[in-house]
Amino acid sequence: MELRQGIRTTPATRAFTETAISDETLYGILDDARFAPSGGNRQGWRVIVLKDPLLRTAVKELYLEGWYQYLPQVAAGLTPFSVVNDRIEEAEVRAQAARFAQDAANGPGGFAENIDKVPALLLVLADLSALATIDRDLDRYSMVGGASIYPFIWNILLAAHDRGLGGVMTTVAVLEEPALRELLTIPDHVVVASLVALGEPETIITKLRRDTVEDFTTIDTFDGEHFAQ
């Protein structure tokens, strides 16, 4: 696949066929993804390939703990877990999690309820000792460390797309990091960055909806003139 086409046509895929992904294919995807950039070329990513059905089920149950707190926030018009949310309002909304869980139990379930059945499931971790977290001491949400991890995950999705596969990066499982740490023997200096699901897409999506360059780019100042052709 031509690079520009791949960049512009890689969707978040959450519905997969039952077609298995061979270890050879998965290895090849990770072998390509490892060329992602990282600070100091320290390559602080670590990957756990989840194969054991019992472990997959356990991870799904932990995932759902966060998912049913995520859904009521969306329903209430909040950006889930945003650092600018009113925490009291958010807590009241999250308290509705049990109702959303019950609604899901009464139906066939979606991606979250079936995440343990996806063809390939990867838990991507970040080794904190390898990250130059430049914003560590600022009085705000820390973001810089992710710059050395998430390009690797994007490379996984691009490499999968190039092979006719689809995938999605989801961070909901991070809410249950302590339980994941115990379940999967993750050491203290390593944290959960994402759960990545891969498989053959049920539907091929070729057109993505995104804002235009003018929507997010200005000249010289944040409120400057929109950058346009």
Domain ranges of the chain: 3-204
Average pLDDT along the chain: 96
**Above 90 in pLDDT, residue 132?**
yes
Q: Cα 92–97–103 angle (5° rounding)? A: 135
User: Please, which pLDDT band fits residue 207 given cuts at 50, 70 and 90?
Assistant: confident
132, 148 in Cβ contact below 8 A?
A: yes
Residue pLDDT, tens place only, 185-200 = 999 999 999 999 999 9
Mean pLDDT of 34-42: 98
Instruction: Look at residue 133 in the predicted model and tell me its pLDDT.
Output: 97
HEC assignment per residue over 73-126: HHHCCCCCCCCCCCHHHHHHHHCCHHHHHHHHHCCCCCCHHHHHHCCEEEEEEE
Instruction: Look at residue 206 in the predicted model and tell me its pLDDT.
Output: 80
Instruction: Look at residue 8 in the predicted model and tell me its pLDDT.
Output: 93
Residue pLDDT, tens place only, 4-19 = 999 999 999 999 999 9
Residue 226, SS3 per DSSP: strand
Instruction: Look at residue 74 in the predicted model and tell me its pLDDT.
Output: 97
**Above 90 in pLDDT, residue 1?**
no
Instruction: Look at residue 205 in the predicted model and tell me its pLDDT.
Output: 85
User: Please, which pLDDT band fits residue 117 given cuts at 50, 70 and 90?
Assistant: very high
pTM: 0.95
Instruction: Look at residue 138 in the predicted model and tell me its pLDDT.
Output: 97
Q: State the CATH architecture for 3-204.
A: 3-Layer(aba) Sandwich (3.40)
